[in-house]
Amino acid sequence: MLETNTILEELTAIVGPANLRAAAREDAVCGVAPQFIVEPQTEQHLAAVLSRVSAAGIAAIPRGGGTKLDWGNPPKRAGIILSTARLNHIVEHAWADLTVTVEAGCTLHSLQSTLAKRGQRLAFDGLWPERATIGGALSTNDSGSLRLRFGALRDLIIGVTLALPDGTLASSGGKVVKNVAGYDLPKLAAGAFGTLGVITRAVFRLHPLCRTTRTVTFTSASWGDMQQKLHAIQDSKLAHSGFQIRGHSGGPPHADLLFEATESGLAAQTELLQKLLLSESRGSSIPPSIFVDSSPQIWQARQNLFSTRQKESVIARFSVLPSDLAKAMRWLDPFHSSSHANWQAVVQATGIGFLRLDADPSELPAQIFALREQFERAAGSLVLLRRPESLGSLDAWGNPGDALPLMRAVKLRLDPQSTLNPGRFVGGI
């Protein structure tokens, strides 16, 4: 903890008195209150702060926009919040090379707005783009429906700079797409939850911004029928950019496809999809309802699971083989047995889904344990992103498998004092 004036004086000397303040109630991380908020202006200042607090045995919690600060387990301790709010610049947009270098504190919305002026984009649709930052999205391994065509954010990153707890600024990769220089720090940092180093800047490959898009929505009689249609669409010649399935307890699933093309291309893709769906529905007593040019707001469904959550909701991210999707939805049957329980899900065609469970808090732990066991038995996972304070003792991550010893070894190598986000990640790392 920050007990001495000496440490505070040193941090103030690094960042300036205006950029170090006492933490407020709303700065708590999963119920654990830090003492101070530090906002460095440069990568060098951030590295210097990190080195000083690490040497003093003080825990540091990296924070961008704070949109996912309640994901993961509560930290074992929290001395300071290390904010990247002032590291918010777009360093270089090499538009001719389709790359961009951006600081970690830049919001997704700000980055996309700048890239759009050159007809380009980072092909990534993360949660809360107006507030979420590049560093936070990378650290939490967030990904939306565009992952189906363009890959996750970790597939788009080609370079990264990390501030390590010993004060080192470590860089890997470069500013061109065909680059194999150095150790693959970008892949290591993506999804590490800020436990290995603080991302200070990243370099991404870009894609052209498509001006004409179309969203087509269709319904299915059951999850089994929807899974058959999913396989048929994925095996077809359709060139869709996004594919999500929405469902809830007691109702049929709906699927949304995003097409990006010229006007004639959109018409051809829509016609091909309609023919495919009608062909797959032959013999069915309930043909699918197809809605062309449905609302683009449908793609906010994943985010709406969070914004409409109730006090006793649990929100989880799961992964399952696409071939096991219908079976996974049947695992939610116990939530049908209670009139006070229900669920909502948004599932991407890649098998990654987001699930909201509303039930009696006294029943949730046993139900979550049983549900997680089924996902893990099927080579999947169930990660708790948000849960009520009454369920704060539930482990967020589940079984880490045989990778945990290696993960701990990497953590020990890069952060031997367990300075960064102690206890928040898999296996208490």
Q: How far apart are CA 126 and CA 137, in angstroms?
A: 7
Q: Please give the structure tokens belonging to residue 286.
A: 């309930």
Q: How far apart are CA 97 and CA 116, in angstroms?
A: 15
Per-residue pLDDT of 27-43, as tens digits, reads 999 889 999 999 999 99
Edge-to-edge, what's the strand order for the sheet holding 80-83? 20-22, 36-38, 80-83, 60-63
pLDDT score for 388? 81
Q: How far apart are CA 361 and CA 388, in angstroms?
A: 8
pLDDT score for 336? 58
Phi, psi of 30 (to 5 degrees): 50, 40
Which residue, chain included where needed, has tokens 């990660």? Answer: 383
pLDDT score for 175? 67
Residue 313 near residue 386, CB atoms below 8 Å: yes
Phi, psi of 103 (to 5 degrees): -75, 155
Q: How far apart are CA 146 and CA 25, in angstroms?
A: 36
Query: Per-residue pLDDT for 364 more than 90?
Result: no
Instruction: Please tell me the number of Cα atoms within 13 Å of 82 on its side-chain side.
Output: 36
Strongest mean pLDDT among 2-11, 152-161, 283-292, 332-341? 152-161
pLDDT score for 346? 97
pLDDT score for 337? 58
Least confident piece of the model among 46-60, 66-80, 169-183, 188-202 = 169-183
Q: How far apart are the first and last CA of the chain?
A: 20
Rounded mean pLDDT, 279-307: 86
Q: How far apart are CA 33 and CA 31, in angstroms?
A: 6
Rounded mean pLDDT, 231-251: 94
Q: How far apart are CA 129 and CA 299, in angstroms?
A: 13
Which residue segments constitute the domains of the chain, with CATH numbers given? Answer: 5-85 (3.30.43.10), 90-208 (3.30.465.10), 213-240+255-289 (no CATH), 300-402 (3.30.70.2740)
Q: How far apart are CA 410 and CA 297, in angstroms?
A: 41
Identify how many contiguous H helices and E strands the chain contains and give both numbers.
13, 19
